[in-house]
Amino acid sequence: MNRMLLIAFREFLENVRTKGFWFGILMMPIVLVLVGVVPIIVENTRVAKNYAVIDETGVVLDAVKQELSVRDFRHLLTDFTKGEEDMLPAFLAVFFPEIRALDEEDQENIVDYLFNDGKLDDNLTRRLTNQLTRHRSAIIDWWANLSDEERSQLSGSISANYFRLVDVTNLEQLKEMIESEALFAYFIIGRKVVEDGSGTKYVSNNLTDRDLEIWFGELVSQYVRDQRLSQSDVDADIADWINEAVSFEGVTLGKDGETEEVDSTDIARQWAPVVFVYFLWISVMINTQMLITNTIEEKSNKLVEVLLSSVSAISLMGGKIIGIAGTGLTIITAWLIMALAFFIGLPMAAGIELPIDLSSVMADPWFLGSFVMYFLLGYLFYAALLVGLGSLCNNLKEAQNLIMPVQLIQMVPIFLMIPIGRDPNGSLAQVLSYVPPLTPFVMMNRAAGPPSTEEYVVTTILLIVSIIVAFWLAAKVFRVGILMTGKPPGAAEIFRLLRAPVTRRVTSP
Amino acid sequence: MNSIELTSVNKFFGEHHAVSDMSFEVPEGAVYGFLGPNGAGKTSTIRMIMSILYPDSGTLKVLGDDQPERVKDRLGYLPEEKGLYKKMKVKEIITYFGTLKGMSRRDAAAEADKLLVRFGLEDAASKRCEEMSKGMGQKVQIISTLIHDPALVILDEPFSGLDPINVELVRDIILDLKHDGKTVIFSTHIMEQAEQICDSILLINKGVKLLDGKVAEVKGQFSSTLLVDYDGDPANLNRPGIVRVNNMGNSAELSVEEGADTQALLRELMDAVKLNSFTLKEPSLHEIFVRTVGESDT
């Protein structure tokens, strides 16, 4: 055992000195930065899609524009972009912060007052009521005269960020614009759209991206529905009542059986294991690859025989596996520390409160514990298989062919990540938990469920037994393979090695 | 007392009978040569002594222990194919091999310093192995083999691929070890070296022992040879009473039949060719090797 640890320690030191090790450690901050920064870049560089409308009715488009203007104004109040206060006119800037501070219902009341001739509620402050009454028409004018460009700067939610109406109605010209990609699509609203919905068209060269079609279609549908209701003499309030959709409030069962409201932190918690699985997979891949490379390097460097004159083949194999496990644990510990620093330390230091309580998700001892345990078990399982096969090869190219089947199995968890994350206790997830090569990944994937204690116990026992069997088989191959030269043996020969009785017990010196 | 005793040892690799019914003894303090052509089973035998392979049958005693893996720490082994960790520093790797043989780090480091000085490598101690010349690398490998002061040292083809200076170096190391009372086994297929250095030899071919024993005794088992320098037709060297002619152009080694009259042979040869010199001597190991292996092959 002592000698095994000597081998392990040397292996560890050697790996820590490699570029691969530092690349492995630094990958985490790089991924974190990418995850944090890339969506912002994508958001900032998105180009709004241009569209045009030929309105044969002559009324629908105006109504849609009006509705859109109101919706956008609502976004102005709810999602105002920080730092753009300078763009507000002076009269509005004075009391705008007060409006921003109101709850959604009061804001809706103000929108209703400004655009639908509604009445202001009594619960608004006197000052605010006065300001609004005094500046009502100025606000409406200011808003109506803003360009799309100006509007889009005021809030990220305003529609001009995504879609912009181009004032062209000439068919020939529209076709040309679509050809030259100056226009994403144009709509034709048929004359009898309210009567029977006929004559509507959506023309575009890109029919896979349906965002614009769905968005504009919904706006027109709403107008058409309102028209039909009013033509049928249905009272406006009744129409609203009929139109009102039922929305279910997301609730989850707490530990004590009481229901709790679902918030974004719960959703983050639900999906956190997927992130853990991803890193679990990467770390198992990196470390088993390292093990194979080192084994073959030692063999091709002709060091094996010298080593075997001092230690048994089993000690050598065990030492290598332990040494690289140590390397792997160092990498994932560094990752966890960096991730915790990034999600907890950084916001704390900067005094920012994250919209989602990631710290509790990240630092969840259940997740962290599962991560470390399944890293070790998963690594050991694949390490045994790959070190056995690797010992038969004289160079990496030979190894690539021989370990291909194992690597194909290693790929499976990546494809399972999302389906299992969506349904962590579904039958697919449950069944695959009992397949030892997949157990570490699938069980990590399900950690938010979490699986029942029985499942943890049974799958872990199954996995540990498989690891023991894998080691036993690997040892049989390794002690012969590591001294083998020439072409690596085929499947039949490997099978013969596995069946061959062990000539003599090997005791570690 | 014997350092090594093999009794009826067999080793198979699949269908291949690599070592067959092998029995021999290596006396303590001897310099012992394993001789035989390539693929004779020398390395397999050595690996069994080192407990790298295990015999399929037979018994094997090393340093008096019939469980050879228990005495691994007292053996030093330099395989034919040997390497170093390229990224490790010279002293670091020597110390590492010392600890693998059960030395404490401190003892191993101290011993490494001593040996580096003895081999003139003290300045290279903190160099990486990849920066070393081939000769220096070989010295490092030998130091790694000797760091734990083994009682039995096994060198597999230690001279192969060495330049004359390093051949001398290795030979001197072997003689030093002998002087210190260590047992040294080395394998080779270069007979001249074996003849110079060995006390005893083992000759094997195709996994089978052909002969073994003290060099003088082995030679005694064979009839003498005639060394002649001559001018003339080499065909004329073939006389009755001569078993084999090893013609080298201007000279030849003639194996004489047992009990033949060498004086009569001399007279006959003088008539057949122009003789410049004539020496009657015991056969060289090379001659014995070629004769014995040749016979066993047919």
A359 shares a domain with A296: yes
In a domain, B287, yes or no: no
B174 shares a domain with B121: yes
A223 shares a domain with A278: no
A23 shares a domain with A82: no
In a domain, B235, yes or no: yes
Q: Which residues contact A142 (CB under 8 A, 6 or more apart)?
A: A89, A92
B245 shares a domain with B184: no
In a domain, B249, yes or no: yes
Q: Give the H/E segment covering residue A223.
A: helix A211-231
* pLDDT cut 70: percent of chain B above it: 100
Q: For residue B48, what pLDDT band results from cuts at 50, 70 and 90?
A: very high
B100 shares a domain with B227: no
How far is the C-alpha of A82 from the C-alpha of A66, rounded, in Å? 26
Read off the DSSP letter of residue B151: S
pLDDT at A507: 34
Query: Phi, psi (5° rounding) for residue A437?
Result: -65, -20
Closest residue in B to A506 (Cα) is: B69
B243 shares a domain with B205: no
B257 shares a domain with B184: no
Nearest to A305 among B72, B79, B88 (CB): B79
Nearest to A6 among B54, B87, B100 (CB): B100
- Mean pLDDT taken over chain B: 89
B66 shares a domain with B36: yes
Task: List Cα–Cα distances, A495 to A380, A466, B16, in angstroms.
Answer: 22, 18, 18
A192 shares a domain with A302: no
Nearest to A302 among B77, B81, B100 (CB): B81
For A138, the domain range is 46-243
How far is the C-alpha of A444 from the C-alpha of A150, rounded, in Å? 48
In a domain, B295, yes or no: no
Nearest to B97, CA basis, from B156, B62, B43, B145: B145
In a domain, A417, yes or no: yes
B200 shares a domain with B231: no
Residues 146 through 185 of chain A touching chain B, CB cutoff 8 Å: none
**Where does a domain end: B165, B189, B213?**
B213
Q: For residue B296, what pLDDT band results from cuts at 50, 70 and 90?
A: confident
Q: In the β-sheet with B225-231, what is the strand arrangement from edge to edge?
A: B242-247, B251-256, B225-231, B274-281
3-state secondary structure of B94: helix
Q: Is the peptide bond before A450 cis (omega within 30 degrees of 0)?
A: yes
pLDDT at A508: 33
In a domain, A123, yes or no: yes
In a domain, B88, yes or no: yes
pLDDT at B11: 92
Q: Which residues contact A453 (CB under 8 A, 6 or more apart)?
A: none
B22 shares a domain with B76: yes
> Which of the residues A310, A314, A317, A503 would you substitute to probe the B interface, choosing the one with the greatest number of B C-beta atoms within 10 Å?
A310
In a domain, A144, yes or no: yes
Angle subtended at Cα A371 by Cα A370 and Cα A374, rounded to the nearest 5 degrees: 75
Q: Verify whether the Cβ–Cβ distance A310 to B83 is below 8 Å.
A: no
Distance from CA of B227 to the nearest CA of A (A): 43
In a domain, A364, yes or no: yes
Read off the DSSP letter of residue A120: -
CA dihedral B93, B94, B96, B102 (to 10 degrees): 170
pLDDT one-digit tens code per residue, A365-420: 888 888 899 999 999 999 999 999 889 888 888 888 888 888 899 899 988 888 88
Distance from CA of B24 to the nearest CA of A (A): 21
pLDDT at A506: 38
> Which of the residues A13, A303, A306 would you substitute to probe the B interface, choosing the one with the greatest number of B C-beta atoms within 10 Å?
A306
A238 shares a domain with A299: no
Section B9-24 average pLDDT? 90
In a domain, A507, yes or no: no
In a domain, B291, yes or no: no
**Where does a domain end: A243, A277, A310?**
A243
Show the low-confidence residues of chain A (pLDDT under 50). 503-509
A302 shares a domain with A164: no
In a domain, B297, yes or no: no
A344 shares a domain with A387: yes
Which residues of chain A have a CB within 8 Å of the CB of B67? 507
Burial class (CB in 10 A: 0-12, 13-18, 19+), A463: buried
- Helix axes of A90-101 and A126-145: crossing angle, nearest 10 degrees: 120
In a domain, B35, yes or no: yes
**Where does a domain end: A243, A277, A295?**
A243
Amino acid type, A135: H
A379 shares a domain with A286: yes
CATH number, position B101: 3.40.50.300
B27 shares a domain with B128: yes
Closest residue in A to B130 (Cα) is: A301
Q: Give the H/E segment covering residue A185.
A: strand A185-189
For B102, the domain range is 2-213
Closest residue in A to B71 (Cα) is: A509
B139 shares a domain with B54: yes
CATH number, position B253: 3.30.70
Nearest to A303 among B52, B72, B85 (CB): B85
Amino acid type, A308: L
Domain count across chain B: 2
Find the largest Cα–Cα distance for chain B.
Answer: 73
Please give the structure tokens belonging to residue B216. 């003088």
How far is the C-alpha of B197 from the C-alpha of B174, rounded, in Å? 8
pLDDT one-digit tens code per residue, B221-268: 887 788 889 998 888 888 888 888 888 888 888 888 877 788 888 888
pLDDT at A441: 92
Q: Verify whether the Cβ–Cβ distance B54 to A504 is below 8 Å.
A: yes
pLDDT one-digit tens code per residue, B57-115: 999 999 999 888 889 999 999 998 778 888 899 999 999 999 999 999 999 999 999 99
B246 shares a domain with B147: no
A319 shares a domain with A205: no
Nearest to A277, CA basis, from A431, A436, A447: A447
B150 shares a domain with B200: yes
Read off the DSSP letter of residue B107: H
**Where does a domain end: B213, B238, B254?**
B213
CA dihedral A325, A327, A333, A336 (to 10 degrees): -100
Please give the structure tokens belonging to residue A441. 């990944």
